Amino acid sequence: MPSIQALAWEDLIKLAPKEADRINGPTNSQATLRLFGKPEDSVRVTLYRDHHAWCPYCQKIWLWLELKQIPYCIKKITMRCYGKKEDWYLKKVPTGMLPALELDSHLICESDLILLTLEEVFGPLGMPLRHPETQRLRNLERQLFGAWCKWLCTPRMNPREESQGKSHFQRLARKMEECLTSKEGPWINPSQLDENTNIPSGADVIFIPYLERMNASLAYYKGIFIRQEHPAINKWFQALEQLQVYRGTQSDFHTHAHDLPPQMGGCWVDPNPKQQLIAKAVDSGEGLGDQETSWNSSIESKESSPERIALARVLKHRHKLLELNPIGAEIFDQPLRAALTRMVYREVCKPINGSALGLRYLRDRISVPRDMPLLAARAFRQALEETALIDGPETAIAIPIKNRFDQNPEPFLTSLGK
């Protein structure tokens, strides 16, 4: 099999795009300040959210602020499943719970209370959250959440209990579909942006974080494609994925499948042929195509393609990635360059012998959207696995299920002087 040479770091750097404007550009997980073209002295809000940009309750507030384009600062805290909670945050919020928000120096905790307060000050996003119809939708979201939790997190279900769990969840998912099909357009409750454009409302924002996690976890652990079985929910996801605001916050199936267990107290598999095929596709980095996201990267320019975005993100952190890899920085240097070269040029690039473990270790520790967007992560995971396959079948160090301390952000923050 013909193979090209792995590019040197200097040559890879030349191929990386310039970083997008974090402050006024597209929604992104790296920002610490968002202005939307407004002056910095207009900032009244500070959002305290997780470093991984993964916390579902933080995602609600994040989406609301982005959709409303409210200028805000971001301060990031480590979730306990990833590492030690920062002392400065525990002094501010003794419980350590996320999110928290400061509005005009007044501290507010608990996501629903934060949203209600933001509505009072900046106006609602569509129908107010206290409106009886929105309250009904909020209750439905909690019922759907409860059915999902019970089905996913109850250990050792027998076949009858599995069937009951599935039926109960699907009954409530159909209720959500009824809400969606009762409105014109894709949204649960549209918010009028202008006379020609509707965007998701506060009610949609409340559904988004856990529907995203349900979609990933039920595919991985149960072999159920929500988007396939519930067309109206699929249409809703497709509409969300056309919005750059949503894509900036969206995680992937690999991150959700492996970060949920320590948060949920365990996620339990219903082993069946479809589930096993799905789990293999997720774990290998292949991804699940339109079941994961309908966004088509072909409309992106070459400079901002998923592959180039992934390259830029890896280059920024390459020294720490090399240092932390279990096969050691010196050995892992060439295989990492080989995987990046393959990703960018889509040609075979052979790694040195004994590199499969290191490549798969990194494949399993990409965090979306903290590290890079979904499609960029998919491209990079695929390149890592394809490069590892050339070396051999050696499996990676197992992903822990009681915590994700293997994704502790602290070493990367230290290396960046943050």
> Cis peptide before 369, with omega less than 30 degrees from 0?
yes
Residues 211 and 78 in one domain: no
Using one digit for the tens of pLDDT, what is the confidence trace for 41-99?
999 999 999 999 999 999 999 999 999 999 999 999 999 999 999 999 999 999 999 99
Q: pLDDT band at 2, cuts 50/70/90?
A: confident
Is residue 190 scored above 90 in pLDDT?
no
Is residue 191 scored above 90 in pLDDT?
no
CB 371 within 8 A of CB 225: no
Across the chain, what does the average pLDDT equal? 95
Using one digit for the tens of pLDDT, what is the confidence trace for 332-386?
999 999 999 999 999 999 999 999 999 999 999 999 999 999 999 999 999 999 9
Residue 215 belongs to some domain of the structure:
yes
pTM of the predicted protein model: 0.95
Residue 356 belongs to some domain of the structure:
yes
Residue 381 belongs to some domain of the structure:
yes
CA atoms of 66 and 258, how far apart (whole Å): 27
List alpha helices for 242-373, DSSP H: 244-249, 253-264, 273-284, 306-324, 329-345, 356-363
Once rounded to an integer, what is the mean pLDDT over residues 304-312?
94
Is residue 159 scored above 70 in pLDDT?
yes
Copy the structure tokens of residue 214.
């349900």
CB 231 within 8 A of CB 41: no
Task: Out of 1-10, 249-258, 290-299, pick the least confident.
Answer: 290-299
Is residue 141 scored above 70 in pLDDT?
yes
Task: Give me the percent of the chain exceeding a pLDDT of 90.
Answer: 91
Using one digit for the tens of pLDDT, what is the confidence trace for 202-223?
999 999 999 999 999 999 999 9
The residue among 272, 296, 320 that closes a domain is 296
The residue among 100, 122, 144 that closes a domain is 122
Residues 142 and 241 in one domain: yes
Continuous segment of H or E residues that includes residue 74: strand 72-77
Residue 20 belongs to some domain of the structure:
no
CA distances from 176 to 99, 276, 418 (A): 26, 28, 43
Is residue 413 scored above 90 in pLDDT?
no
Is residue 301 scored above 70 in pLDDT?
no
Residues 92 and 229 in one domain: no
Residues 255 and 159 in one domain: yes
Residue 27 belongs to some domain of the structure:
no
Residues 264 and 339 in one domain: no
Supply the pLDDT for residue 197: 80
The residue among 262, 296, 330 that closes a domain is 296
Is residue 304 scored above 90 in pLDDT?
no
Once rounded to an integer, what is the mean pLDDT over residues 238-260?
97
Supply the pLDDT for residue 183: 86
CB 388 within 8 A of CB 395: no
Residues 184 and 223 in one domain: yes
Measured torsion, CA atoms of residues 16, 17, 18, 19, in degrees rounded to the nearest 10: -90
Supply the pLDDT for residue 206: 97
CA atoms of 343 and 341, how far apart (whole Å): 5
The CATH number of the domain holding residue 253 is 1.20.1050.10
The CATH number of the domain holding residue 116 is 3.40.30.10
Number of domains observed in the structure of the chain: 3
Once rounded to an integer, what is the mean pLDDT over residues 103-129?
96
Residues 356 and 251 in one domain: no
Supply the pLDDT for residue 396: 87
Residues 253 and 282 in one domain: yes
Residues 70 and 42 in one domain: yes
CB 82 within 8 A of CB 405: yes
Task: Write out the DSSP string of 79-120.
Answer: -TTTSPPPHHHHHHSTT--S-EEEETTEEEESHHHHHHHHHH
Residue 71 belongs to some domain of the structure:
yes
CA atoms of 339 and 60, how far apart (whole Å): 35
Of 418, 402, 371, 354, which Cα lies nearest the Cα of 82?
A: 402
Supply the pLDDT for residue 135: 96
Residue 23 belongs to some domain of the structure:
no
Residues 174 and 289 in one domain: yes
The residue ranking higher by pLDDT, 333 or 300, is 333
Task: Give me the percent of the chain exceeding a pLDDT of 70.
Answer: 97
Of 329, 343, 326, 330, which Cα lies nearest the Cα of 383?
A: 343
Residues 60 and 154 in one domain: no
Give the range of the structural domain holding residue 279, as residue numbers without chain letter.
132-296
Once rounded to an integer, what is the mean pLDDT over residues 171-182?
96
Residue 397 belongs to some domain of the structure:
yes
Is residue 267 scored above 90 in pLDDT?
yes
CA distances from 247 to 21, 135, 394 (A): 16, 26, 34
Residues 230 and 199 in one domain: yes
